[in-house]
Each structure stands twice: as C-alpha cells, then as structure tokens.
Structure 1
Amino acid sequence: MKSYTPEQIIEQLRQIEQEEQIKIIYACESGSRAWGFPSKDSDYDVRFIYVRQADWYLSIFEKRDVIERPISGMLDINGWDIRKALNLFRKSNPPLLEWLQSPIVYMEPYRVTEEIRRLSPLTFSPRSCMYHYLHMAKGNYRMYLQGDQVKIKKYFYVLRPVLACQWIERSGTMPPIAFETLVEALVPAGSELRAALEQLLIRKKAGDELDDEPRITLINDFLEEQIASYEQIARAMPASGEDRDQQLDALFRTALQEVW
C-alpha cells in the first residue's frame, strides 16, 4: 500500500486550493492515525477548514460548503467551509473538536484557528459530546463485537469512545484524541483490564492483522457495563456551553480579512 509524506499531503492540499480558489486555514490528520492506532493499511484521513473570497458568501443562494475528493490509494481528503465549521463548532461538534487537537497538523498558516481553539472550552457541551461517543460505541459494539468470534481490531473503535465518555463524566472537558492518553488516565495501572488493553495496542502497532478471533470476555464485560451506565449518565450531563455567537461572527469576519 502507498504511504504519503507530509510534504506530499501538503502538495495535494495546495492543489485543491488552486482548483477551488480557496485558502485552507487548517489541515490535519483525523481517524486512527491521529488516535494512535493505525493499521498497516489505514487511510490517511486528511481533514481541512477553508475560506472562500468574501463575494462567495454574499449570495441569496445556498451553496455547497464541503469539498470532497475521491479516495485515491490510501489518501482520503475532504474539508468544510469555515461558516459550516463555525456553525458546527457552536454546537460542540466532536469530530471538529477532535480535528482542532489533532497531533498531526499539515497546515495552520493563519491565527484564526488558534482563536477558534481558544473558544473550545467555552462552547463545549458535555451532554451532546457524550451522546456522540456513546452512539459510536453502541453502534460499533453491536456491529463488530457480538458472538464468540469477533473482529479484534474493532475493540479500539468501541474502547476509545467509551473511555471518551469516562473522560467527559470526570472532567467535563473534551477528551484527548490519543487512545493511549485515555488508557493511562482512566484505566488503573496494574489491573487486568489495563494489561489486556496494552497487549492489544502492542499487537496493533506491530502490524498484526487482528481479524476474527475469540472474543475477549474481560473487555466485552467492561464495555457492556460501561455502555449501559452511560445510557443513564448522559441524560444528566450539562446540556450546552456558553453562548458565543457574537464572538463566532467576529471570528468569521476576522478570517475573511486575515486570509484575503
């Protein structure tokens, strides 16, 4: 499978800027590479936020506010217009909040992204984010981890959102993006569960296939208990962050002025 250097990915992003007549204000890696458990065949999930020239926004018509490119090899690139991104940001959209703290940043040439990041704790909604992660955990558990034989690598795609729910419950903040950080913070050192998770991660990083194998009862029991618990806990979480609409409007205008 083809791999990509950061320079090659940036070159692709520059090409999109030219083709679409946009400016990318932020581009990062999302998905398993950012979470810290990529497979040998994991795609490069590149996500970006872009700004168009001011006249584009001065229209009575709704326009497409997403740019997507067909997956090529292992490269999956798409992005959101800044107005779409800021509207999702005010709703505490977890994928966007994850982008903003990705450990793999390809482009951040303007100050506006740091301004958005600075407002993140103020707009964060514990309830909506917990429901997002809970929904992800339930769906992946139901699809991949039922039965005596399960897709072992899919444990990560249930464990991470479950641990994210734990983080939100305990701290009321956006959880870290890295899986290992969540494990170290939330799973007691020396416990059987911690040992099982660390062994899974070692195998994943070593490039093991981690396909169908007997279910790991210890982990399944933990996940079922946690999912059932957070079904109840999520309802009692605070509903929303502070109203920052005026600041987000100002950020939008600032971005147009800074970029163009």
Structure 2
Amino acid sequence: MSDYRSTIRTELQHIEQQEGVRILYACESGSRAWGFPSRDSDYDVRFIYVRPVSWYLSVFEKRDVIEKPIHDLLDLSGWDLRKALYLFRKSNPPLLEWLQSPIRYYEEYSVAEQIRSLSPLTFSPKSCTYHYLNMAKGNYRQYLQGDRVKIKKYFYVLRPLLACTWIESRNSMPPMEFGALVDALIPKESELYGVLQLLLSRKKAGEELDYEPKLTPLNEFLEERIAHFEQTAAAMDDAILPGQEQLDKLFRSALQEVWG
C-alpha cells in the first residue's frame, strides 16, 4: 500500500499538470475502502478537482469529469467541483462515501472539510436507501441465483443491504467499511456473523471465491432484507437541502483559496 500511495500521488500530480487543474481531494472508493480487497484488487481512486476561474466563464457546456484508463491495477476518475457540489445537494451516495473514505490519498485545501460540514443537511435517508437497495437487488439478481453462485458477490449484496439497515436504524450515512457494518448490526453470537467472518477471512487470504454451492441461510437473509426495504424505503425522509446561495458561496471560496 505504501508504494502505491506514492504511485497514486504521482499520477494525481501528472493529472494536475496535464489538465491544468488543482486536485482538492482524492480517496479510495472500492473494495479496499470497503475492507474486503482481494490480492489483485484494483486501486479505485476518486477525486474532486477545480479548474481556473476563466474555465467556468463560458456560455458552452464543457466536460466536467476526468477519467484515466486502468493500468497496473490503478483506476482514476474525478469530478469537477461544480459537478460535485450539484450532486452533493442531491444527496449523491457515492460522493458522500468518498468524503468519509477511510483511505485518503490527498486533501490539500479546506474544501472537502467544508463539504463534510454540510453533509448532515444533504443526507437523504430515502434516496440513499434506494441507491443501496438497487445496488443489492442488481447484484443479487445477476450473481446469486441458482444452486451454484459466485461466492464473492455475497459481499456486494450484503454491504448495501447492511447500509440500508444502518440508515433505517441510525438515520445517518453508513460507514464504508464492511466490517464496521457487520460488527454494529449483526449479533456476534449469530450463525450469520460466523458465516460472514469466514467468508471475509477467505477473501482477505486471497482465495478465488468463485462458483460454489449457494449458502442457503445467507440467501434467505438477503431475500428477507430486500423485501423489507422494498416495503419501507418509500416512507423514509428526504433531505433538508442547503440553499443554492450556500453552495455558491462555498464554490467561490474554493476558487479564491486555490487560485487567489
């Protein structure tokens, strides 16, 4: 990880030079941040950047993302700050996750912390629950049907469903780490907890976890949770959104802080 941190920071510096931008914040967003990487897992780096003031003074729409193709297990993708703030106001779950990622590669300016301070205002239990529920349903339908299933995909259904459970019980953005969700929400004396710990240890040890007989108790748990949130999500609260002026002020202050 330490070697890759240096590589990632170097790649981010190259992006700044090539694109003429300043990166405000960069973090891990994939299985490494979730706490269940495989030995060959990619580094999924996500970042927020800002361009010079003159770039925003245009009557034409411009591309507001930067994407670099995967090479050497490294995947980099970033959003322009204006795009990030627009999606932030809509309680965008991936962005809210980035801001609380346990693995942060770069945070040079105060902008990310200012956005975090507004996060309670933009958090929408309803929209975030639907986001995680749809993620779980898609992965369950695609990978966990039939007598033999792709075992590692249990994590990609369990994590979003546990995130839904966290939102329902605590009315806040769930932690990214799978282990933190399991420890907080699954009783340690339960059979389910033991099964999850075994799967987690196998994945971290580098086992392939490919097609194996399905784990019937786990499937039953997932089906019950999916059915539950299909019934309850619609009644959850929406966010109390910050005003446009508040986000405009944050955007302008970021331009001033970065470019002077």
Q: Aligned partners of 2:99 and 2:196: how far apart in 1?
A: 26
Q: Which residue of 2 aligns with 1:173?
A: 172
2:126 counterpart letter in structure 1: R
Q: Is the 8 A contact 1:27 1:46 kept in 2?
A: yes
CA distance in 2, matches of 1:213, 1:3: 34
Give the whole-Å Cα distance in 2 for the aligned partners of 1:225 and 1:149.
20
Question: Which residue in the other structure is 1:118 paired with?
Answer: 117
User: Please, which runs of 5 or more residues in structure 2 have no aligned partner?
Assistant: none
Tell me, in whole angstroms, the C-alpha distance in 1 between the residues paired with 2:182 and 2:244.
Answer: 35
Q: What is the CA-CA distance between 1:245 and the residue it aligns to?
A: 2.2
Q: 1:3 Cα shift?
A: 9.6
Code of the aligned partner of 2:5: P
Secondary structure of 1:87's partner? helix
Residue equivalent to 1:184: 183
Say yes or no: does 1:28 pair with 2:27: yes
The separation in 2 between residues aligned to 1:139 and 1:126, in whole angstroms, is 20
CA RMSD of aligned residues (A): 1.2
With the length of structure 1 as denominator, give the TM-score of the two structures.
Answer: 0.98
Match of 1:50 in 2: 49
Conserved in 1, the CA contact under 8 Å of 2:89 and 2:241?
A: no
Identity level (%): 68
- Alpha-carbon contact 1:123-1:244 (below 8 Å) kept: no
| Residue aligned with 1:77, SS | strand
Q: Structure 1 residue 40: deviation in Å? A: 1.3
Report the CA distance between 1:247 and its aligned residue: 1.4
Q: Which amino acid aligns with 1:21?
A: G
Instruction: Identify the residue that residue 10 of structure 2 maps to in structure 1.
Output: 11
CA distance in 2: counterparts of 1:249 and 1:188, whole angstroms: 45
Give the drift of 1:111: 0.7
The match for 1:79 is 78
Distance 1:239 1:92 in 2: 9
Give the partner amino acid of 2:134. H
- 1:96-125 superposed Cα distances (whole Å, 9 cap, x missing partner): 000000111111000111000111011100
- Match for residue 138 of structure 1? 137
Distance 1:184 1:35 in 2: 14
Aligned-pair distance for 1:149?
A: 0.4
User: TM-score scaled by structure 2?
Assistant: 0.98
Query: What is the total number of aligned residue pairs between the two structures?
Result: 259
CA distance in 2, matches of 1:199, 1:190: 14
Question: 2:78 is paired with a residue of what secondary structure?
Answer: strand
State the AA in 2 paired with 1:128: S
Contact map agreement 1:160 1:179 (CA 8 A) in 2: yes
1:216-259 Cα deviation digits (max 9, x unpaired): 01110000000000001100000223333221111100110001
Helix, strand or coil at the partner of 2:71: coil
Question: Residues of 1 paired with 2:144 and 2:240: CA distance?
Answer: 34
Alignment gaps of 5+ in structure 1: none
Letter in 1 for 2:222: L
Moved over 3 A (4+): none
Partner residue in 1 for 2:87:
88
